[in-house]
Amino acid sequence: MCGIVGYIGSKQAAPFLLDGMSKLEYRGYDSAGIAVLEKGQVRVEKCVGRLDALRQKLEGNMPESVIGIGHTRWATHGRPSDRNSHPHTDSSGKFVVVHNGIIENYLALKEELIAKGVEFSSDTDTEVVAHLMADLFDGDMESTVKKVLKVIKGSYSLVFMCEAEQDKIICTKKDNPLVIGLGEGENFIASDIPAIINHTRRTFIMSDGEIATVTKDGVWVQDIEGTPINKKVFEVNWNAEAAEKGGFEHFMLKEIYEQPKAMRDTMTGRVNAEEKTITFPELNWTSEELQGINKIFIVACGTAYHAGIVGKYYLEQLARVPVEVDIASEFRYRSPLVDGNSLCIVISQSGETSDTLAALRESKRLGARTLGVTNVVGSSVAREADQVIYTYAGPEIAVASTKAYTTQLLAMLMLAIYVGRLRGTLAEEQAKELVGGLASIPEQIHKMLEDVDQIKVFAREYGSCEDAFFLGRSLDYAVALEGALKLKEISYIHAEAYAAGELKHGTLALIVSGVPVIVLATQEDVYDKTVSNLQEVKAREAVVIAIGFEGDTSLAKYADHVIYIPKTGKYHAPLLAVLPLQLLSYYAALTRGCDVDKPRNLAKSVTVE
Ligand code: M6R
């Protein structure tokens, strides 16, 4: 959470900082602020609210400087307010810092500083860092930063400036992302690449414990002992436009429409459409290697966790390995029975989610083999997992995950087919049928996205409801979970997903006249039972919107409305069935006037526990 930027060069810093922060608002948008060294002095400008509020504040009074740092906040310690906005300074105002993460021992440090007479002006954990800089300053910024790092505990990306050394910015990180952009006579710092991509493509990613001294003419990286570190510079090959809205009203809608391409890209090099086989050149597993694996753990958060649940169905049914799926924030606290015969798969779009990373590290500590499924090349998950499968969804900016989810489902299905074949649990014919079905998915999604009028109508009609329910059995249940999350997070409608058979064990009490219930009915083996559950809610006068396959003539007899999706196999159905749910959430959020791309209280990348 929180977005950080920094600039040093010979151009004006403020315009870069504001532009870079606008690309990082997905990381937090409770407040925004910048600090520059203007006429030799630290000048801080910050305020609660979106970046636009800061822009307005600066109109006609833009700070002038060639060095500066900026921050968009996702509040952890201290409510969103002007005083809690970053950057924070020490009492003299000479040391200034921006921070992403949590200083876990800030209370103890704060008490010590207060005992020394320091006065605090915010409720944040970050402010202690600025005061520590002043308290420990020994005339040299780098050595002072090292001293600060020795006393703080927690997770952080930190960027420092001070009046005593006007020609440098210092930054460091632990468990939170930070990238450096290298320019000609200028250098950049950011939490994520979209912030710098308009200025340079030459970047490197900071690793935990590294300290970078960034000047106009170069960047020098060392560890806390002063050992120099040579960083591998790479060229970002994204198109800057890929991170812009490209004519769509919102990133979320753009990303929904990018799903056919995301699917194709994720299949490239893995699906052989002619031979109808799957390969993962990046894994190159052998059947002997897999003999030792007797259990798979899938660990993730939010939408990625929902993809993990689908993955469990795939891996258990096609590869016949027992799979446990865990919410990452719970995993390490339940003493999981992970050992050297376990494979731990962590799924994370960003590859930076703090709990997911912690689960990955815990699995490694327990001796498991680890596999990351992530969308971000060079992310922490990608670097720390033993092996990685990239989803090629392209940058996902909207907080609500859409194309990342469907590519995660696709990756899990391809993986299950691959492992099933290697283990001999999946017959060649069935594998070919599954791969054949996959090849049609991008076109089927494309077709579904051509006409979404019916969904717009439903969103208008039911968008004002306060509660909604999502039901399904088997894989439909897993997709229902994602449908409910999507609706909640962007439209703020209270939504719950249930395994359809579970409803009568309590929740049926909530089904009253007019409540919208979305019933997924794509799974043939449980179809009749799902229809019975549909009738149970109809009998309580719920309004039922069913999702079923084209050609299903029964559903319309029971449901109030039916959204038809192209006919596909049972394992492919989640890839299509989630689409109307994404769109329903999007248009419901629009109907309710919600800020679709930046839902309240949320951030795209959750790098705190
Ligand atoms: O980057 P990650 O995939 O690890 O993020 C996990 C969740 O925070 C994320 O999926 C979240 O639930 C989405 N906002 C849901 O749309």
**CA nearest ligand 1 atom 4, residue:** 348
Residue type, 161: M
**Is 317 a domain residue?**
yes
Residue 7 to residue 13: CA distance in whole angstroms: 6
| Average pLDDT value for residue range 204-216 | 96
CATH of the domain at 141: 3.60.20.10
**Is 602 a domain residue?**
no
Q: Are residues 162 and 211 in the same domain?
A: yes
Return the ligand 1 atom nearest residue 306 CA: 10
Tell me if residue 297 falls in helix, strand or coil: strand
**Residue 239 scores a pLDDT above 70:** no
**Domain span including residue 583:** 451-591
**Residue 379 scores a pLDDT above 90:** no
- Is there an atom of ligand 1 within 6 Å of 303 CB? yes
- Is there an atom of ligand 1 within 6 Å of 122 CB? no
Sorting pLDDT into bands at 50, 70 and 90, what band is 246? low
- Is there an atom of ligand 1 within 6 Å of 193 CB? no
| Average pLDDT value for residue range 374-386 | 91
Q: Are residues 398 and 293 in the same domain?
A: yes
- Is there an atom of ligand 1 within 6 Å of 401 CB? yes
Instruction: Look over the chain and give the mean of its residue pLDDT values, rounded to a whole number.
Output: 94
The per-residue pLDDT for 243 is 64
Residue type, 153: K
Q: Are residues 54 and 143 in the same domain?
A: yes
**Residue 144 scores a pLDDT above 70:** yes
Report pLDDT digits (tens) over 442-473. 999 999 999 999 999 999 999 899 999 999 99
Report pLDDT digits (tens) over 493-531. 999 999 999 988 988 899 999 999 999 999 999 999 999
**Is 606 a domain residue?**
no
Q: Are residues 367 and 504 in the same domain?
A: no
Q: Is 557 a catalytic residue?
A: no
Test site for ligand 1: of 252, 350, 357, most ligand atoms within 8 A of the Cβ: 350
Write out the DSSP string of 84-117.
TSSPEE-TTS-EEEEEEEEETTHHHHHHHHHHTT
Residue 470 CA to ligand 1 centre (angstroms): 20
Residue 578 to residue 522: CA distance in whole angstroms: 11
The per-residue pLDDT for 417 is 98
CATH of the domain at 544: 3.40.50.10490
Top-ranked range on mean pLDDT: pick from 83-92, 173-182, 455-464: 83-92
- Is there an atom of ligand 1 within 6 Å of 354 CB? no
Higher pLDDT, 227 or 27: 227
Return the ligand 1 atom nearest residue 353 CA: 4
- Is there an atom of ligand 1 within 6 Å of 399 CB? yes
Residue 107 to residue 84: CA distance in whole angstroms: 16
Q: Are residues 259 and 341 in the same domain?
A: yes
| Average pLDDT value for residue range 302-320 | 98
- Is there an atom of ligand 1 within 6 Å of 400 CB? yes
Residue 300 CA to ligand 1 centre (angstroms): 9
Residue 599 CA to ligand 1 centre (angstroms): 13
**Is 601 a domain residue?**
no
Q: Are residues 346 and 459 in the same domain?
A: no
The continuous run of DSSP H or E covering 528 comes out as: helix 527-539
**Is 223 a domain residue?**
yes
**CA nearest ligand 1 atom 12, residue:** 302
**CA nearest ligand 1 atom 11, residue:** 302
Sorting pLDDT into bands at 50, 70 and 90, what band is 241? low
**Is 597 a domain residue?**
no
- Is there an atom of ligand 1 within 6 Å of 350 CB? yes
Q: Are residues 259 and 406 in the same domain?
A: yes
Q: Check if the beta carbon of residue 128 is closer than 8 Å to that of residue 110.
A: yes
Query: Among the options 110, 146, 276, 604, which is catalytic?
Result: 604
- Is there an atom of ligand 1 within 6 Å of 606 CB? yes
Q: Are residues 292 and 223 in the same domain?
A: no
Residue 304 CA to ligand 1 centre (angstroms): 6
**Is 428 a domain residue?**
yes
Which of 244, 275, 296 represents a domain boundary (last residue)?
244
Test site for ligand 1: of 27, 325, 329, 353, most ligand atoms within 8 A of the Cβ: 353
Partner residues linked to 37 by β-bridges: 42
Closest by CA position to 512, among listed 469, 541, 482: 541
**Residue 240 scores a pLDDT above 70:** no
**Is 98 a domain residue?**
yes
Q: Are residues 406 and 390 in the same domain?
A: yes
Instruction: Burial-class residue 163 by CB neighbours within 10 Å (0-12, 13-18, 19+).
Output: middle
- Is there an atom of ligand 1 within 6 Å of 444 CB? no
Q: Are residues 36 and 158 in the same domain?
A: yes
| Cis status of the peptide bond prior to 87, with omega within 30 of 0 | yes
Residue 179 CA to ligand 1 centre (angstroms): 21
- Is there an atom of ligand 1 within 6 Å of 301 CB? yes
The per-residue pLDDT for 242 is 64
Candidate from 22-31, 271-280, 558-567 with smallest mean pLDDT = 22-31
Residue 382 CA to ligand 1 centre (angstroms): 16
Test site for ligand 1: of 251, 252, 303, most ligand atoms within 8 A of the Cβ: 303
Closest by CA position to 499, among listed 313, 320, 296, 304: 313
Higher pLDDT, 263 or 244: 263
Percentage, residues of the chain above pLDDT 90? 85
Total number of domains constituting the chain: 3
In sequence order, the 6+-apart residues with CB closer than 8 A to the CB of 159 are: 4, 6, 69, 97, 98, 99, 169, 170, 171, 178, 189
Q: Is 2 a catalytic residue?
A: yes
Tell me if residue 518 falls in helix, strand or coil: strand
Residue 388 CA to ligand 1 centre (angstroms): 18
Q: Are residues 477 and 440 in the same domain?
A: no
Return the ligand 1 atom nearest residue 605 CA: 1
Q: Are residues 195 and 268 in the same domain?
A: no
| Average pLDDT value for residue range 590-599 | 93
Which of 194, 214, 244 represents a domain boundary (last residue)?
244
Which of 414, 445, 476 represents a domain boundary (last residue)?
445
| Average pLDDT value for residue range 291-310 | 96
**CA nearest ligand 1 atom 10, residue:** 303
- Is there an atom of ligand 1 within 6 Å of 353 CB? yes
- Is there an atom of ligand 1 within 6 Å of 585 CB? no
